[in-house]
Structure 1
Amino acid sequence: MTETTEATRAVVVERDFPYPPSKIWRALTQPHLIAEWLMSNNFSPEAGHRFTLSADWGKVDCEVQTVETNRSLSYRWDTKDLRSIVTWTLAPTATGTSLRMEQRGFTTEQKSYFQGATVGWPRFIAQLGEVASRLD
């Protein structure tokens, strides 16, 4: 799903998982688990913490904006000329967790970034689910 505003666009992915929010939260916030589904990193779930996500294609400079344990997490996602915000929202359900990821800040000129995020995030989130499925 995508949303468009006058100045920027956003990529939104929503998934339901049969795991409690605490398992999804661990996969979102523990560096060794993040490395399994996203990229190598030096993440820490503390507002103001600056961290880097690294892959063979380059790196993403990030800064944690908000942290509400087992509920929401947001961070700046800056790479090359893309300045965006990634927000994760977790909601408990009768069968597990509803997860919503939104990356907002793509300008209309940033078609390659937008397309990459549109294709990439569903894959990353599927891998996140696989990581969560292995947690005790």
Structure 2
Amino acid sequence: MADTTNNANSASAIREGSEADRTLVIERVFKAPPEKVFAAWTNPEILVKWWGPEGFGTPEHEMDVREGGAWRTVMRNDKGEDHVVSGVYRDISPAKRLVLTWAWEQPDGSRGHETLVELTFEPAGDGTRMRLVQRLFETVEGRDNHRMGWDSSFNCLEQVFA
């Protein structure tokens, strides 16, 4: 989930493609009930076990898990480089739905372009089907970079439930 959403090569790259083109949808099934998968997003003791792509750690995190509450996470790669992302919880329905904003912190400390992340959690046999929809990317490239980051992060999340 490296920050590439603000690295457009030209003005024409900003908001390239339709809104549908700039929306990311990922579905994964995890071997845990919805309550546990939801808790992996809202309980800091669980979040630090999986958050960030493979090879990243989470040395800092703040979570005020309530509607309107802020969250902030520092992901550190194996080179010691920090990637900071933050947002606000918009909607929380335990074990069913979680909506939050998402923006990368820029080198000057300001927040970059904001996207919206909506997660839903549904029972699926012995596990949970989790659906992530992330909207409002500026570019298709930004969407695709987030897909790689989320896919890797969700591989880590699978290990939490193994």
TM-score where L is the length of structure 2? 0.71
Structure (1 or 2) with the greater strand fraction = 1
1:51 equivalent in structure 2: 71
Q: Deviations over 1:18-66 (max 9, x none)?
A: 2111111111110121122114411132101112111233311210000
**Percent of aligned pairs sharing the same letter:** 25
Gaps of 5+ in 1: none
Of residues 144, 147, 153 in structure 2, which corresponds to 1:118? 147
Q: CA deviation at 1:8?
A: 6.4
Aligned runs of 1:1-136 on 2, under 5 Å?
5-6=18-19, 9-38=22-51, 39=58, 40-56=60-76, 57-79=82-104, 80=106, 81-108=112-139, 111=141, 113-133=142-162
The residue type equivalent to 1:122 in the other structure is D
8 Å CA contact 1:61, 1:77 repeated in 2: yes
Question: Is the radius of gyration larger for structure 1 or structure 2?
Answer: 2
Q: What is the number of residues matched between the two proteins?
A: 128
Q: Which runs of 4+ in 1 moved over 4 A?
A: none
Matched residues in 2 for 1:30 and 1:94: separation?
Answer: 24
Structure (1 or 2) with the greater helix fraction = 1
Q: CA deviation at 1:70?
A: 0.3
8 Å CA contact 2:32, 2:161 repeated in 1: yes
Q: CA deviation at 1:7?
A: 7.8
RMSD over aligned Cα, in angstroms? 2.0
